[in-house]
Amino acid sequence: MRALRIHKFGGPDNLKLEDIPIPSVGDSEILVRVHAAGINPVDTYIREGAYAALPKLPAILGKEIAGEVEDVGEGVSSVKKGDRVFAFLPENGGYAEYVACQQANVYPLSEKLTFSQGSGLCVPYFTAYRALVTKCHIKPGEILLVHGASGAVGIAAVQIAKAYGLTVAGTAGSIEGMDLVKKVGADHVFNHGEKGYLNNAVAAIGGRGFNVVLENLANVNLGADLTVLDQHARVAVVGCRGTVEVNPRSLMLTEGSIIGVMLAGATKEEAEETAEAILNGIDSGWVNPVVAQEYMLDEAAQAHHDIIHNSGARGKLVFKL
Ligand SMILES: NC(=O)c1ccc[n+]([C@@H]2O[C@H](COP(=O)([O-])OP(=O)(O)OC[C@H]3O[C@@H](n4cnc5c(N)ncnc54)[C@H](OP(=O)(O)O)[C@@H]3O)[C@@H](O)[C@H]2O)c1
């Protein structure tokens, strides 16, 4: 099979397209013929060797895929050959034509979604759900700021929060991104490149501040987030690429909390609850991933450049196989 592998940690040129054997399936595993593999910022952190959990080399990157069941292990009864599925790959492996997935991490893919959409469910939607529902305990009627709403996690957060009855303000860095954030359901949209946008956001929601903030770039925004909170607000730190200075006094005034979010930190029970909610959301129609761009495997270096360096996000980047 064709697979993108790295033999050493470093820049995008280390992603090598190679022919390697199709993996065998263990007893509790499902072999999936991959039709689309989600590309996530974390794949680039791993590729660089700048992540806490690094794989043994050579390694195939990729945390999430969608495709069709090719084969199942002896202990698997949940799916059969030919079923459409999507899957989470905690140990990576998605950038390949076939991947052996743990049964517990494989979910049925509705006909309502394309394979490319399906490859953008497990990381963005499960993370946004963890941030908003599991960690911040969002309630109907609350007001949420999604700081960085035009990317994969941000769009998921907007869709989840609207389904849970919140008022949502989202930010993007381009006109196209702002249009998209509005289209996926945000009540208010602001450009995080414009001076004074947070003050405008607070004014738009009536001046009291936000009950919840989902922060996708904490190293830039966390200090400012703490100045736009209502009493007892929660700030979920989902994305962070460096250090930041904050004034804790803002938290004292509102008795607010900053909560770190890590998808990999979910317990088995939390992962099951999350999956059930997202599968229900797909059935009901409010979970609807937006694919910004599909890449071929031989465009891997470009794809890894784009996911980190491109501004003006418009949803999810995926490999189409
Ligand atoms: N904690 C976890 O378990 C977990 C799980 C998944 C992802 N993450 C992290 O979450 C972050 C988002 O992931 P993603 O897949 O959604 O990435 P993505 O699709 O590349 O989206 C990045 C988002 O950040 C926005 N952004 C850029 N500059 C910003 C600024 N100054 N202020 C606010 N937002 C800004 C982008 O908006 P424009 O391009 O429109 O400017 C875009 O909406 C990444 O850092 C990722 O590593 C963490």
Report whether 212 contacts 136 (CB < 8 A).
yes
Name the phi and psi angles at 225, rounded to 5: -55, -40
Residue-level pLDDT at 193: 98
Q: 91 C-alpha to center of ligand 1: Å? A: 22
Tens of pLDDT, residues 145-191: 999 999 999 999 999 999 999 999 999 999 999 999 999 999 999 99
Position 92 confidence tier, pLDDT thresholds 50, 70, 90: very high
Report whether 210 contacts 180 (CB < 8 A).
no
Structure tokens at 228: 């736009």
Residue-level pLDDT at 253: 94
Q: Is the CB of 262 under 6 A from ligand 1?
A: yes
Residue-level pLDDT at 23: 98
Residue-level pLDDT at 59: 98
Residue-level pLDDT at 227: 98
Average pLDDT, the chain: 98
**Cβ within 8 Å of residue 91, ≥6 positions away:** 55
Place of tokens 């990157």: 61
Report whether 18 contacts 5 (CB < 8 A).
yes
Residue-level pLDDT at 281: 98
Percent of the chain with pLDDT over 70: 100
Tell me which residue has its CA closest to atom 35 in ligand 1: 148
Percent of the chain with pLDDT over 90: 100
What mean pLDDT is predicted for residues 244-249? 97
Going along the chain, which residue ranges are E strands? 2-6, 16-19, 29-39, 59-60, 64-72, 84-88, 98-102, 106-108, 143-147, 167-172, 188-191, 210-215, 229-237, 257-260, 291-295, 316-320
Residue-level pLDDT at 129: 99
Structure tokens at 141: 């009627």
Residue-level pLDDT at 294: 98
Domain ranges across the chain = 2-120+289-320, 125-264
When the candidates are 3.40.50.620, 3.40.50.150, 3.40.50.720, 3.30.9.10, the CATH number that belongs to 125-264 is 3.40.50.720
Tens of pLDDT, residues 216-237: 999 999 999 999 999 999 999 9
DSSP letter string, 15-33: -EEEE-PPPPP-TTEEEEE
What mean pLDDT is predicted for residues 101-115? 98
Name the phi and psi angles at 20, rounded to 5: -135, 165
Tens of pLDDT, residues 29-61: 999 999 999 999 999 999 999 999 999 999 999
* 2-120+289-320 belongs to CATH 3.40.50.970: no
Q: Is the CB of 46 under 6 A from ligand 1?
A: no
Tell me which residue has its CA closest to atom 42 in ligand 1: 151
Q: Is the CB of 224 under 6 A from ligand 1?
A: no
Tell me which residue has its CA closest to atom 29 in ligand 1: 148
Tens of pLDDT, residues 6-36: 999 999 999 999 999 999 999 999 999 999 9
Report whether 218 contacts 246 (CB < 8 A).
no
